[in-house]
Amino acid sequence: PKGWQVQAAGEQRWLLKGTGERPLQVTLQCITELLHGPDDPVLTPVLGALEPARMSVRWASWGAADSGVSMAALQRRIVPGTEVQEIAELPRADRANPNAPHGLLMLRWDEEDPSHIQQREAFIATLTQSLEAPGTAKNTTGTAP
């Protein structure tokens, strides 16, 4: 989204920072293997380990299904509390190659913070608008690298 900043955050990892007093942070990591679930070791350096006694896990939809542009995200919620961790995989650039790299998005947000909610919604809208849906034109305006 407009105003967001991108900075390197390690090998094959970037940090996308939102705007405002409490900027939302999204980590983008390039991976080659598909995510193996909510406790995949690739998540630990960014989100920490899954703690089944303190966390619930569910699927969420990012984007508008009616427009044909949406993707699934895995949500890990810390209970009790207001922190939500979300993980979404971007499609492979070369879908014919199962070893082609693709992006893994990881974010933490506070479900009671209006700023985080607004920034999350703006990020998801920008992301899903940039994805190419069958039968629609690709809109790349304002997408992050």
Identify whether 45 is part of a domain. Answer: no
Identify whether 78 is part of a domain. Answer: yes
Question: Chain-wide mean pLDDT for the chain?
Answer: 83
Identify whether 139 is part of a domain. Answer: no
Which tens digit of pLDDT belongs to each residue from 57-71? 999 888 765 555 678
Identify whether 59 is part of a domain. Answer: yes
Q: Taking residues 24-39, report their average pLDDT.
A: 89
Identify whether 68 is part of a domain. Answer: yes
Structure tokens at 11: 């090998």
Q: What pLDDT shows up at residue 65? A: 57
Structure tokens at 63: 């984007």
Identify whether 99 is part of a domain. Answer: yes
> How far apart are alpha carbons 1 and 29 in whole angstroms?
18
Identify whether 93 is part of a domain. Answer: yes
Please tell me the total count of domains within the chain.
1
Identify which of 16, 103, 120, 1 has the alpha carbon closest to the alpha carbon of residue 60: 120
User: b vs e for 79-116, b when ≥16 Cβ sit within 10 Å of the residue's Cβ?
Assistant: eeeebbbbbbbbebeeeeeeeebbbbbbbbbbeeeebb
Identify whether 138 is part of a domain. Answer: no
Q: What pLDDT shows up at residue 94? A: 76
Structure tokens at 48: 């920490």
pLDDT band of residue 103 (cuts 50, 70, 90) is: confident
Which tens digit of pLDDT belongs to each residue from 111-127? 999 999 999 999 998 88
Q: What pLDDT shows up at residue 134? A: 47
Which tens digit of pLDDT belongs to each residue from 69-96? 678 899 999 888 899 999 998 877 777 8
The boundaries of the domain holding residue 82 are 5-39+53-129
pTM for the whole structure: 0.79
